[in-house]
Amino acid sequence: MPVSVKSASSGLGVAPTGGGVGAEITGVDLRRLDDDTFAAIRRAFVENSVLLIRGQQLSDDDLIAFSRRFGALDWAPIQENGRRFVDGKPEIYVVSNVIEKGVAIGSLGAGEAVWHTDMSYLDDPPMASMLYAIEIPPKGGNTGFCNMYSAYAGLPDPLKRRAAGLRIKHDGTYNSGGYLREGVAATDDPRTSPGAVHPLVCTHPESGRRCLYLGRRRNAYLLGLDLAESEALLDQLWSYATRDEFTWYNNWRPGDLVLWDNRCTMHRRDPFDPAARRIMHRTQIKGTARPAA
Ligand code: OGA
Ligand code: MN
C-alpha cells in the first residue's frame, strides 16, 4: 500500500489519491527540479502508476524538457485532420475540441474517449504519457484511470488461468474517440484489422508485477481463438477490469499535469459541452522494453 511521504529536504509530497490508482505530488515546480527530487518523482511514478501534479506553468518546451527526463520521446500520432503536429514540435499531441479557421487544432473532439492505453497498436508502445491542462471546460471532460495490476489480481482464478499464455491484438484502426486513424482503412473485423500483438498478461519491466494488458475493446482479438470465443472472453475480462474500485478520476484544473504509466493503466474521458473549450498538450515517452509476459 503506497503511503504519504513528505521529504524534508525538497518539500516534495506524495499522497495517494484515495481512489483505485494514483498519487498527488505536491511542493514542486516542474521547470526547476534537482536530480534527487526528480528521482523521487520517478520512484513515485513506478509505485503509483498515475501522478497528478497541480499548479504548474509549463510552455511546450518546459513540458518536453520535463518529459525527456524520463527518456526519449515518441512523436505524436497523426491527428484526425491529417496534421502531424503544431509549430515544429513533433513531440506534442494536442487533445482539443477547439476549431480555429474551420480546422480542429487537436484530436478527440468533445465526446467520450473510451477506455484505452495510448498507442498500444505499436510493437513498441510508449511507456508513459503526460497530459498538461491549458484550458478546461466548466464541467465534464474528467479523465479516469484504471489500475491494471488490480484488474489482473481481481480476476477469478479460472479466468487468470485462461488468460495466461494468450496473446491479444491491439487495434490500430480507431482512436479512443472513435475516429479512424490516418492512413488505415475502416474495418470491424478484429481478425484482419491492423494492430500489434502483445501478451494478454504482462510483467511490468520495473515493478516486476503482473498486469492485464487490454489496450482497448474495439477490434481487440485473442489470437488462435474463434472470433465468437475471443469476443466472449474479452467481454468477460472487461467486465472485471474497469470496476469502480480500480479507478480514479481527475477533475481537471488548468495547470494540472497528469503522468501515467501506459504499461499498467488504461484511461478514458467523459464527454463535455462541445461549445466549451478544452485544450490539453500531451507528450509520450518511448518504451524501453517491449510488453512481455
Ligand atoms: C490522451 C487521452 C483523454 C483526455 O491524451 O491520451 O486519452 O482527457 N486524453 O483528454
Ligand atoms: Mn489516451
- Does residue 160 share a domain with residue 265? no
145 CA from centroid of ligand 2 (Å)? 10
* Predicted model pTM: 0.95
Asked whether the beta carbons of 212 and 201 are under 8 A apart, the reply is yes
Our CA angle for 65, 67, 68, nearest 5°, is 65
Domain of 156?
A: 150-241
Say if 290 falls within a structural domain: no
- Does residue 126 share a domain with residue 262? yes
CA distances from 193 to 20, 22, 74, 171 (A): 33, 33, 23, 7
Between 72-86, 187-201, 243-257, the lowest mean confidence (pLDDT) is in: 72-86
Tell which residue, 242, 239, 230, has the closest CA to residue 200: 230
Using a 6 Å CB cutoff, which residues line ligand 1? 95, 108, 113, 118, 129, 131, 143, 176, 267, 269, 280, 282
For residue 133, give the ligand nearest its CA: 1
Say if 293 falls within a structural domain: no
The answer on pLDDT for 175 being more than 90 is no
For residue 111, give the ligand nearest its CA: 1
268 CA from centroid of ligand 2 (Å)? 7
Confidence band, pLDDT 50/70/90 cuts, at residue 87: confident
The answer on pLDDT for 29 being more than 70 is yes
- Domains contained in the chain, number: 2
Asked whether the beta carbons of 43 and 9 are under 8 A apart, the reply is no
- Does residue 220 share a domain with residue 102? no
The answer on pLDDT for 275 being more than 90 is yes
Say if 33 falls within a structural domain: yes
